[in-house]
Chains A and B, each alone.
Chain A
């Protein structure tokens, strides 16, 4: 999720006025050190559950309960990883839904983002407010209203309704990410393309799209992260279709098998590596 953060990271760093920071640094040495430790304490606190999830993926529990430490094993990272077919299917569902939702939300959201960032038109204020409402609306309301809608329209809930719902709540996040990027662009570049004889489609394909691409990619990554992790809206719109978070929820009362922790750790590792890789790439480009 922090892909966008990392991508923006180089910006605030560049014009650092060094001189203005020197003065408070000398005077507030003690306070600064306290804050430094406080920040690290909070990072540790935030990392604590992650450490628990990862640690228990190496546990070798007797029976179903993976609550207390009973021995180290690699087997759930290897041969036993796919031993629970329902869990494996749920994880596959999550990935497929996330890919489909990302594709849909990125296309629809990018178009809205361009419209909101590049043009001035009637109804723009309302359109901005709708994006805002979509992001700020409580998930339980989004989920339950869609569920009652599907119920009243006699639409059978399943993977299509889950994907539709995911596209809906990811779309606005993509739109605002792209809009933020579009607002930083110089419109004269597009005018230049037009003056040089490029039609609207060529201008879009060869000039606009490459320029807004970082925003589109950041939006797509945000959409993927939101979709693969979503629980509340998915629960209301899924019917009997089960995703990874829903499967965890359904067995949480009986205790989680270590495979859940392994998959959670893999998703965590892939996400972190991806975020680091994007930040390295964008930093290289900026340099």
Chain B
């Protein structure tokens, strides 16, 4: 009898452990998202109040047709940011993993340094650097190397620079973690079988490191596509992304149903990507990278 009792208790232990944190996530993560879905189909305005849930799916049509250019820009900037990040990160992660020797952790630490400066502050610092008369363009203009009306700030390029800068460590880390796990014996085996260095890379190293690349894309694309800080600090008014629209609809226009339908659409699109990733490759890579960061 007592054995049965203690057996039951040990079976329930994980649930007890999960309970407080689970409740917290239920109240502040699950409930708000469910309420947001409800709100997204309401009508009304800030003065007369909102109501009539589950009837106004037109909010969704509106959120896509009205803000088409912002949706496209989000996908474009985040996608381009990811490609540039991969191009920059892969060689570095490769070099540190295979040639870093005893200084591996020092190099990784140096690459993580930006994270010790506040996100908003480091983005504003780019505003200083890229400004029309700033540190970069000021001297170039003075020497007449670029024309006087050349500018980087308030263009899409500036936003992409900011995005690459802010999320680059999230690309380097997972690729590094994946490459670090590649067994050197496999590379040697490839070489022993007379594969040239290019073949060894494309047939052995690259396939083994792809999960890391995908994890990096996930960790870069999601925050980049939904970010509004880079776009408003570096992009000016003409290069807004979907995050800026959500921000404006909440804080400025106060059209909460439209804001909710925008948020839910954004989350749904990203979640489809996230969960198909999780199904195909598992959650371990991303969780490992997040834990390493």
Mark A residues whose CB is within 8 Å of B.
1-2, 4-6, 8-10, 12-13, 16-17, 20-21, 23-25, 27-28, 32, 35-36, 38-39, 42-43, 45-50, 52-53, 56, 67-68, 107-109, 111-112, 114-115, 118-119, 121, 124, 127-142, 144-149, 151-152, 164-165, 167-168, 171-173, 175-177, 180, 218, 222, 225, 229, 231-232, 236, 244-245, 248-249, 252, 256, 260-261, 264, 267-268, 271-272, 275, 279
What would 17 A/B residue contacts be, using CB atoms closer than 8 Å? A23-B191, A42-B92, A48-B129, A56-B128, A119-B13, A134-B29, A135-B290, A138-B243, A138-B266, A141-B263, A145-B33, A148-B259, A173-B290, A176-B287, A231-B229, A232-B227, A248-B120
Note all chain B residues with C-beta closer than 8 A to A245.
118-121
Please indicate which of the listed interface residues A5, A121, A260, A272 has the most CB atoms of chain B within 10 Å of its own CB: A5
| Structural contact, A46 and B165, CB atoms closer than 8 A | yes
Task: A21 to B187: give the CA distance in the assembly, Å.
Answer: 10
Binding site secondary structure of chain B: helix
For the complex with contacts A2-B112, A2-B115, A144-B259, 7 further pairs of A-B residues with Cβ separation under 8 Å are A13-B104, A132-B287, A138-B267, A151-B256, A168-B28, A180-B288, A264-B117
Task: A107 to B128: give the CA distance in the assembly, Å.
Answer: 41
Note all chain A residues with C-beta closer than 8 A to B163.
none
B210 touches A (CB below 8 Å): no
| Structural contact, A25 and B293, CB atoms closer than 8 A | no
B108 touches A (CB below 8 Å): yes
Minimum Cβ distance to chain A for residue B160 (Å): 14
| Structural contact, A52 and B125, CB atoms closer than 8 A | yes
Give the segment of B18-26, B56-64, B149-157 that binds chain A: B18-26
| Structural contact, B226 and A252, CB atoms closer than 8 A | no
Minimum Cβ distance to chain A for residue B24 (Å): 6
Minimum Cβ distance to chain A for residue B292 (Å): 5
Give the segment of B65-73, B93-101, B140-148 that binds chain A: B93-101
Mark B residues whose CB is within 8 Å of A.
11, 13-15, 17-18, 20-22, 24-25, 28-29, 31-33, 35-36, 39, 88, 91-92, 94-96, 98-99, 101-102, 104-105, 107-122, 124-126, 128-129, 131, 133, 135, 165, 168, 173, 180, 184-185, 187-188, 191, 197, 218-219, 222-223, 225-229, 233, 243, 246-247, 250, 256, 259-260, 263-264, 266-267, 270-271, 274, 278, 283, 286-288, 290-293
Task: A97 to B184: give the CA distance in the assembly, Å.
Answer: 46
| Structural contact, A47 and B113, CB atoms closer than 8 A | yes
| Structural contact, A165 and B28, CB atoms closer than 8 A | yes
Minimum Cβ distance to chain A for residue B38 (Å): 9
The answer to whether residues A121 and B15 also contact, given A12-B180, A268-B117 and a CB cut-off of 8 A, is yes
